[in-house]
Structure 1
Amino acid sequence: MDKHKPTNRIDKIDLENDYNKLNENPFPVEIFPKEIQEIIFEVSNVFKFNIDYLGAGILAAVSAAIGRSHQLEVKTGWLIKGNLFIIIVGRPGDAKTPALNFCINPINKQDNLYFSEYNKLMDEYEKGLEDKTENKDQLKKPCLKKILMNDYTPEALIQTLNHNKNGVCIVSDEFIGLLKNMNRYNNSGEEESLLTYWSGNTISKDRTSTRSIRITDPFVALIAGIQVGVLNSLAKGNKSSNGFIDRLLFVYPYKFEKIQWNNNSIDEIHLTNYNNIISNLINLKNDNHESVVKLKIEKKAHEYLNRWQNNNKTDDLFDYERSISVKLEDYVYRFALILQIMNSTIKNNENKSEVQLPAIKGGIKLYDYFFYNAMKVRDQLAPKNYLDNLTPLKKVILKDLPNKFSKKESIEIACKEINGKPRISKRSLHTLLKDEKLFIRVSQGEYEKVVKD
């Protein structure tokens, strides 16, 4: 048989992707290399974990494994790290935690090795302190290496960052509990600390009783869970106005399904492959964690990205839409960096100096996915006295639409071009039509205003 002759064989992964796309706003699994896609679908089929949770969890695990070792140089002097702040939304019993545990398990294994080595060094150190013949001035107390942090104080986080130059990833089952815990120790507010970590700005801590610490290039990532019922807690304080919420990447599946128990078992090869992939990413960095590999964006990929960004904006339909869009545009760089390093490492090729077009396109798909979810969360946090809080553009579009209209008519009216650009995007219109405080869907593709003219 001619090996170059095309066959009619159907790719199982392609079928899984096609099925996944039947959901509304599915996690774009196709952005990953086939090796990762295969793992996601296999684990989902066996354990019945939500694909959104697995996709986002693996994205977070890869980000944490890379750390600050590889950064994207957008322009001279403008470096971007791949740290992500991911919030997984679900109900009790939706297996958020088990899905996340699977994703970060290879990193936990590495942290276990670090801890074993630390204990050995501590035993030697303590033995040296007890040895009367030992020159105690020459003894150096060992420091614990680690990548993941769960329960900590702000001071402990700073100390850990000081000892782990490649950075850390905060993991928490309950995001609201994490914020409350941080606020116990930080009078300036939990959001301000996390905003600093998100931006990667220099952290400087000065205390009269201890030595000062200065971390010039910190890497702090975050992945945490939150229950649907407490989402409104995110609207309290300054979180809605200081840009804090808009920096969070919400994983909010279209529908929640009860986990069905079964006797299925997973092929060990998938677990081995995933563990090897994450281990290889961790091992990309040098032992001293000091050097950083700088990647540039390939010319054609950069041109594609610029065209997308320049055409990405229409007039804002919601007060918070612009802030969400701007923060997520910044995230596209981070997504693309992560995807490029992941793909290069799995394929074991030499292209680890440039971010190429497939990674950029994957980053844009993630932008679309997380934008939809951010708008979904923001809609739930919106004031209930709704009509008085509409933006001017939203009021105009609401007035322009007839009392009864079809989806096609709404596109023609709301998305009409002004100065060569649509008044709003179809995506924004889709979100608007789902607002049950303004519209009722009377049948497929047919709508009616709640408050009629």
Structure 2
Amino acid sequence: MGAEKQEASHTLRSIRGSNNLSENEFSKNTIDRLDLESDFLNLTEKNENQFPFDIFPKVLQEIIFEASNKYQFSIDYLGAGILSASSAAIGISHKVKVKEGWNVKSNLFTVIVGRPGDSKSHALNFCFKPIHIRESELFYRYEQEVLNYEDSLESGQKKLKKPFLEKFLISDYTLEALILSHFYNKRGLYIYVDELHGWIKNFNRYNNSGEAEIYLSLWSGTTISTDRASGKNLRIEDPFVGVIGSTQIAVLKEFAKEGRSANGFMDRLLFAYPENQKTIKWNIDKVDENILQNYFTIISNLIDLKNNENGQANIIPIEESAEKHLFNWQNNRPDEYLFDYERSIEVKLQEYVIRFALILQLIHYASDKKTKNEVQLFAVKGAIRLFEYFYHNAIKVRSEITKKNYLESLTELQKIILAELPKNFTTQAGLKIACKKVDGKPRISERQFKTYLNDRKLFKRVSHGNYEKIL
């Protein structure tokens, strides 16, 4: 690939569109190294549902490995984050034509799931950094336009048109503010929330306003409008709204409350939920600037995709062999399911396959110059692999939120320690069992075990220093 060296990747100027990636071009040695990284990961990580990172171009695989190795971010978080950042950058600029009257856009509702301290927010910030920087540039321009506008009012000159803030992401907002912001940003918006639990809790803050139902419409891309008591009414014919954020495993049940597990809302969420998360260890390693620059350039190229000459989305078809592969796959999916939620998840994720294929096609266009005029077979195959990844996680989340037995809610280590403890034991005997060393380190600390003993659903205090297991 050609090389055009730019300034450091954290500057505003560095993410302006460019058709060239940085000087760290992909030689055969670089590709071989990526293949070795992939092989090593597959051999050493016992993960039955690894994010399929190899659906991305090699240049993005390199940034995933680099950030995972240097910052210890989960591969799943990086893969889902890059997919969502790419979707946010594309916006309404392109749609896929599945058949006459059926066009699909690329917005995603993504949730990354993990324990406290798993660097969920840091991983997302890393993936969305190019968009944050572009937004900083847009805000600076907006400030200058506001100053010019206010000066024109004071001087009595011909009034300038009141400026509006162009943006890609929105975080702290009311539903009306979201629609107003989208009205001025026709390309689309992504709801970017650090903790999605708070977003969910706010759904019915205004007298059961039915906010969840509005988000169902936004996911589908159907026309939305607001009737305002003061000010003009708003109508968006072709909305594009995505969602990205994180949540902790312990609060997944909140997502299913107030009918959200039955009305299809839960089934529209894409969960990135790593099988085996390692504890983050601090280090001083930094991501290679050239590799980071390549990522910034790809996202910038996606941001700079234009609508057609009429200002509408570019409608691109599915190439014939890709369409045949997609339809054959869909027609051979199961017809019967043990649980109704499996059917609902299946249907929503089938729709996502088309969205994934569009994103993958345009990512490859932005990085290695594949066409952006049709969706090809490689993109459909990659999209189906994403379907399998997110389907597995959706079933996993459903299992989490439908647990009825308290024992099932315990962590694996809690279950192991509980099983090893005898029916009756003293504090000292329990400490010896619970805090035994594994690989030279105690499994848990003395303080952690004593906190565990305070769980009255599991243990009964018989007398001072003596306990009985209840379950």
Identify whether the pair has TM-score above 0.5, normalized to the shorter chain. yes
What is the CA distance between 1:97 and its match in structure 2?
0.4
* Partner Cα distance (2:77, 2:394) in 1: 16
* Structure 2 contact 203–212 (Cα < 8 Å) conserved: no
1:233 maps to 254
Give 3-state SS (helix, strand or coil) of 1:345's partner: helix
Correspondence for 2:178: 157
Q: How has the CA–CA distance of structure 1 residues 73 and 288 changed in structure 2, closer, same or farther, with 3 Å as cutoff?
A: closer
**In 1: Cα distance, 2:335 partner to 2:196 partner:** 33
Indicate if the aligned counterparts of 2:169 and 2:191 stay in contact, CA closer than 8 A: yes
| d(CA) in 2 for partners of 1:47, 1:276 | 21
In structure 2, the residue matched to 1:380 is: 400
Verify the 8 A CA contact 1:154 1:182 in the aligned structure 2. Answer: no
How much has 1:10 moved relative to structure 2?
Answer: 7.8
Contact 1:179 1:190 in 2 (8 A): no
Partner residue in 1 for 2:449: none
1:270-349 pair list within 5 angstroms = 270-286=291-307, 290-349=311-370
Q: Determine if contact 2:200/2:255 at 8 Å carries over to the other structure.
A: no
Q: CA deviation at 1:9?
A: 9.9
Counterpart selection for 1:367 from 356, 379, 387: 387
CA–CA distance in 1 between the matches of 2:326 and 2:338?
A: 24
Establish whether residue 72 from structure 1 lines up as the match of residue 105 from structure 2.
Answer: no
The amino acid of 1:355's aligned partner reads V
Distance 2:83 2:161 in 1: 37
Equivalent position amino acid for 1:370 in 2? F
Q: Counterparts of 2:187 and 2:363 in 1: how far apart (Å)? A: 17
Q: Residues 322 and 32 (structure 1 numbering): CA distance in 2 closer, same or farther, change over 3 Å?
A: same
Distance 2:130 2:400 in 1: 35
State the shift of 1:190 in Å: 3.0
Contact 1:146 1:164 (C-alpha < 8 Å) held by counterparts: yes
User: Aligned with 2:181: secondary structure?
Assistant: helix
1:106 aligned onto 2:130: yes
Partner AA of 2:201 in structure 1: K
Identity rate, percent: 54
**CA shift in 2, pair 1:384/1:358, >3 Å:** same
- Would you say 1:135 and 2:155 are equivalent positions? no
Moved over 3 A (4+): 7-10, 19-22, 286-289
Alignment correspondent of 2:70:
46
- Give, in whole Å, the separation in 2 of the partners of 1:15 and 1:204: 52
1:46–1:265 contact (8 Å) kept in structure 2: yes
> How far apart are the structure 2 equivalents of 1:194 and 1:157?
11
Query: Offset at 1:219?
Result: 0.3
Superposed CA offset, 1:379-431 (max 9, x none): 11225279xxxxxxxxxxxxxxxxxxxxxxxxxxxxxxxxxxxxxxxxxxxxx
- Give how far 1:197 is off: 1.0
Residue 326 of structure 1: SS of its match in structure 2?
helix
Which residue in the other structure is 2:264 paired with? 243
Aligned residue-pair number: 376
**Aligned equivalents of 2:253, 2:179: Cα separation in 1:** 30
The alpha-carbon distance between structure 1 residues 10 and 361, as it changes in their structure 2 partners (threshold 3 A), is closer
Q: Which amino acid aligns with 2:382?
A: G
Alpha-carbon offset, residue 208 of structure 1? 3.5
Q: Give the Cα–Cα distance (whole angstroms) in 1 for the partners of residues 286 and 310 of structure 2.
A: 38
Distance 1:330 1:120, change over 3 A: same
Amino acid at match of 1:368: E
What's the Cα RMSD here?
1.9
Aligned-residue offset at 1:263: 2.3
Q: CA deviation at 1:8?
A: 10
Could you say what secondary structure the match of 2:232 adopts? coil
**In structure 2, the residue corresponding to 1:146 is in which secondary structure?**
coil
Q: What does residue 434 of structure 1 align with?
A: none
After superposition, give the CA deviation of every residue in 1:109-161 in whole Å (9 maximum; x if it has no partner): 111111011100000000011003x133xx21001100011111111101110
Residue aligned with 2:167, SS: coil
For 1:375, the aligned partner's letter is I
Q: Which residue of 2 aligns with 1:402?
A: none
CA contact (8 A) 1:183 1:189 kept: yes
| TM-score normalised per structure 1 | 0.80
Classify the secondary structure of the residue corresponding to 1:72.
strand
The superposition leaves residues 212-255 of structure 1 with CA deviations (integer Å, 9 ceiling, x where unpaired) of: 11100000010011100111112211011001100000010001
Secondary structure at the aligned position of 1:266 is classed as coil
Uncovered stretches (5+) of structure 1, i.e. residues with no partner: 1-6, 387-453
Report the 3-state secondary structure (helix = DSSP H, G, I; strand = E; otherwise coil) of the residue aligned with 2:187: coil
